[in-house]
A and B are shown apart, each in its own frame.
Chain A
Amino acid sequence: MSSDPISHWQPDVRSAPALAQRLDRLAMRLLPAGLTALVAILLAAPTGIPGAIALIPGLAMASVFFWSVWRPASMSVPVVFCLGLLLDLIGFAPLGVTAFAFLLLHGTAVHMRFGLMRLNFITLWLTFTLLESGVCWLAWFLVSSLSFRIMPTAPVIFECMLTAGIYPPFAALGNWAHRKLSNPEPQL
């Protein structure tokens, strides 16, 4: 036995987080996507709010983009996939279309993340508008080709504009939540 107790001390070894701590971190991590899914499910109920159904994809797209840019740990690839699949299951679109489109949006947002974070809000908004238009038209193309019928284009244009309009209030809310919720990102 060594007389020097400090020789056993290894500064690299940190204690593993307790189970409760881990659950807490997981809940924090899943909160944005969980809230988005919950809102989508609630909006699908016949509450009588006009245009509630049209809000669902727009809100989901804004959420996927916002969290992919600012906190990708909360909006990871499997989470985005599950969110898209849930929207496909709730709606009438062919299964997998929304999931595919959302994954592309997420991939692009994460890839351009550090560039996007430096932009001011207006430019970020314009970028989002471009990206979500692309996603809307991709979904339109996929639905049309899977059902062998050219779907009407008016809803797509409406959806693009609605989603662009949803983004600023969503971003304001998201910024607040981003500051308030503790960050589940690995702190390096």
Chain B
Amino acid sequence: MIPVSIQIRQALDRLWLPAMLLLSIAIMLLGWANQRVTVAARMATADVLSPLWSLVALPGHEVSEAVSELHSIGHLARENAQLRSENETLRGWYDVAVSLTQENATLKENLHWMPDPLPSFVTGRVVGDIGGLYSHAVLINAGPANGVRVGDVALAADGFAGRVTETGVHSARILLINDVASRIPVLLESSHGTAIMAGDNTSTPRLIFYAQDNHPVEGERVVTSGQADLLPTGIPVGTVHYIHAGTPVVSPYARLNHLSIVRVFNFETGTIESPDAPGRVPVTSERGIRSDGKKENPLDGMTLGGVVESATGRSTGGSAPQHQDTPDNDKPASSHTVEDHPQNQNEDDNSPGDHPPAQKSGSITPRSSFSLPPAGRG
């Protein structure tokens, strides 16, 4: 130790507190200004601690399993009777499911149904409950090395649990659907309404932004609606429940407080590219070079004449000079993509005239139903 006088040592001791306070304020501001540093620091910590956490969690799981087994021994007779009656019901449902599967297969065969791309998935154990007072998130022991990417969908055994927000080296953080930062577009199955499921840090996320003339119905199923192009359609989320009149919430199928194993699916929804919409006002010009090599004019097709002409199917008589040097005059905006605006695609269905159905057949992407590969208990 360096010999210093008592006075100097006391003065230095007194300086520690303000210095550290300033340092913590600096860290706060740094983390606020540059989120990436915060995320990197967090995930580095989580990577270091996740083996320890999984080690700690293992006996915990075993103990809780043993306790629940002891518990179930106590109610064996009653449980047996209950299981018997449940089994009867399930047998009926099994018959229904088999016949429906058969019918579905036949229908799909007759319709030349294009199958959904099978999502790839990895399964990971929840090794850390790293939420806090103001957040709900879990850490799993699978990372980019196992194919987990930011934005992937995490499903528990019974339903939608959350989405991957950050990845470390061999761990990933999943923001649960009841976190205050979570907003998921959902579809209400029996009232056919849409809504946004907003987490509020309670166990039941709220439903907001539903149509005022079509309220959610108590007890109806809630599935994801895939509208934001981030999630596939039809992942089961939960059921609607009214805690007060006028405040519908979703009680999730997934037991968010007791997640132990989650499956992380990569649906690759981002790879679906919308086809060109001829005659529409181009919104983005992603392909700057045309096929014939000329640099594209970004204002091509944005003149009123071009839009009117293609929308109504009648020529406005040479008011748009750039059309004359285009060989395929009926497709002025054919080199544009509109993939950022799916509503343009929907409007095409209603627009009259010049879109032959054969041209659009490629745009029907079979994403309407959701099916998972069978998996064991999660």
Return chain B residues, CB-CB under 8 Å to A86.
Answer: 45
Given A85-B27, A142-B28: A93 and B138 interface contact (C-beta under 8 Å): no
A73-98 interface code vs B (CB 8 A; 1 in, 0 out): 00011101100111001111111110
How many residue pairs bridge A and B at CB < 8 Å?
Answer: 134
The answer for the CA separation of A97 and B61 in the assembled complex, in Å, is: 32
Q: Which of A28-36, A48-56, A124-132, A169-177 contacts B (4 or more CB under 8 A)?
A: A48-56
- Contact residues on B (Cβ < 8 Å of other chain), bracket: 35 or more
**A6 on the interface (CB 8 Å rule)?**
no
B130 to chain A, nearest CB (A): 6
The CB with the most chain B CB atoms within 10 A, among A50, A89, A97, A104, is that of A89
Given A94-B32, A151-B180: A45 and B25 interface contact (C-beta under 8 Å): no
Contact at B135–A90, with CB atoms within 8 Å? no
The answer for the CA separation of A141 and B118 in the assembled complex, in Å, is: 46
Contact at A100–B134, with CB atoms within 8 Å? no
The answer for the CA separation of A95 and B127 in the assembled complex, in Å, is: 22
B197-234 interface code vs A (CB 8 A; 1 in, 0 out): 00011000000000000000000000000000000000
Contact at A91–B131, with CB atoms within 8 Å? yes
Residue of chain A at shortest CB distance from B25: A100
From DSSP, what is the main secondary structure of chain B's interface residues? helix
Contact at B130–A95, with CB atoms within 8 Å? no
The A-contacting residues of B in range 121-151, CB under 8 angstroms, are 126-135, 137-138
Could you jot down 18 A-B contacts, CB within 8 Å?
A42-B56, A45-B127, A45-B128, A46-B129, A48-B60, A48-B61, A57-B133, A89-B41, A92-B130, A93-B133, A94-B32, A95-B28, A95-B30, A100-B25, A143-B134, A151-B134, A151-B180, A156-B133
Q: Which residues of A contact B (CB under 8 A)?
A: 41-42, 44-50, 52-54, 57, 76-78, 80-81, 84-86, 89-97, 99-100, 103-104, 106-107, 139-140, 142-143, 146, 149, 151-152, 155-156, 159
